[in-house]
Chain A
């Protein structure tokens, strides 16, 4: 240690050196990890899409422009809602996956769901992020009985969650007992998202099913 006689210039020189060292280390780590991080992110996206559209091998991403038109994500458009169209190995159209979010019991729940433009049904649902109560509300992401609601949920009628055991119509979601608030949030989320997105998808259905 150089003690109390250190000159200001010396201190500044030393801090400059430390900053340079830190900067080099951080930038180096960023460059080396960047490609791997991007691969990971795409992997996660593909996994969650394939989970909703079984058999999917290729996805095309569209972005809804503010004027309600469809732009392909490759064109560099960004900011609007995303529509993921999924195709199987033979190039057959499987359905689209949409993102939705809604305030739950603890915080915003964000989720993805599969939508089939042909039959106008929701065919799958998975939660991306939530902070619902463990053991109660967070069952919306895992409870098999609850997820069974989304095998063929009719959307021609506004989707809504009803109390556990009271489901009678194909557009109703059978809520989880003890997690009615979280279940209702899922219902509102899907109802709002379908209402907004279904007309856009219907308008561009040909293009989406062709996948260009």
Chain B
């Protein structure tokens, strides 16, 4: 199989999607996806933190003493989160209230530290920011998927627009915490079966290729 270095943006958005492939950052994923607006806002806030922290860490990566690197990353991530906190408050107080304590808690999202240690500490600034954007938007995509199921079934709306008219019977369950788990399970099932089908196709193709001995690479 060919293994070229993947485009860091596409990698985060799809192949290593934080929600559906790495299953990282489950706390905000389950807690604040009860509406599409919250999901998008939280996803974008995380993406912004990731881009800032990845960029900054990549910029100073050559000067960080190994012994204090985690402390450095945490300080930088915390800074990015605090700035984001002010930014969200400046953009909209109502979004800020809806997201509640989950913006400060981006600090504790393992996705952010994992990208710092796993990518930004080794790569130049531009690819690191691309990686942050890809991962962040991949996370936002995951949250939006959950938010869509939960808002459409739980309130009959999408981004606040009524889809079924005023007589819609809301499925209260989907706005409550169990609804978060149920919708996450539904999406994981869909993505897992998609991946499995794709893998099976690729294996079949690879098996076909090995039949022609002259063409096989080591």
Do A and B touch directly, given a CB cutoff of 8 Å in the complex?
Answer: yes
Q: Is B89 an interface residue (CB 8 A)?
A: yes
- Interface size, A (range): 20 to 34
Contacts of B154 in A (CB 8 A): 134-135
Binds A, one of B130-138, B170-178, B184-192: B170-178
Q: How far is the CA of A15 from the CA of B76 in the complex (A)?
A: 11
> How many Å lie between the Cα of A115 and that of B155 in the bound state?
32
B: number of interface residues (CB 8 Å): 32
B78-100 near A? 1/0 per residue, CB < 8 Å: 11001100110110111001000
The B144-183 residues at the A interface (CB cut-off 8 A) are 154-155, 170, 172, 175-176
The CA of A14 and the CA of B75, in the complex, are separated in Å by 12
Interface digits, A1-17 against B, CB 8 Å rule (1 contact, 0 not)? 11110100011001100
Report B-chain residues with C-beta under 8 Å of the C-beta of A89.
none
CB of A74 within 8 Å of the partner chain: no
| CB proximity of A8 to chain B, nearest CB, Å | 9
Provide the A31-71 mask, 1 if CB < 8 A to any CB of B, else 0.
00100110011011000000000000000000000000000
CB-based contact A15/B62 at 8 Å: no
Please tell me which stretch of A21-29, A79-87, A97-105, A151-159 contacts chain B, meaning at least 4 of its Cβ atoms lie within 8 angstroms of it. Answer: A21-29
| Interface set of A (CB-CB < 8 Å, partner B) | 1-4, 6, 10-11, 14-15, 18-19, 21-22, 25-26, 29-30, 33, 36-37, 40-41, 43-44, 129, 133-136
Q: Which residues of B contact A (CB under 8 A)?
A: 34, 60-68, 71-72, 75-76, 78-79, 82-83, 86-87, 89-90, 92-94, 97, 154-155, 170, 172, 175-176
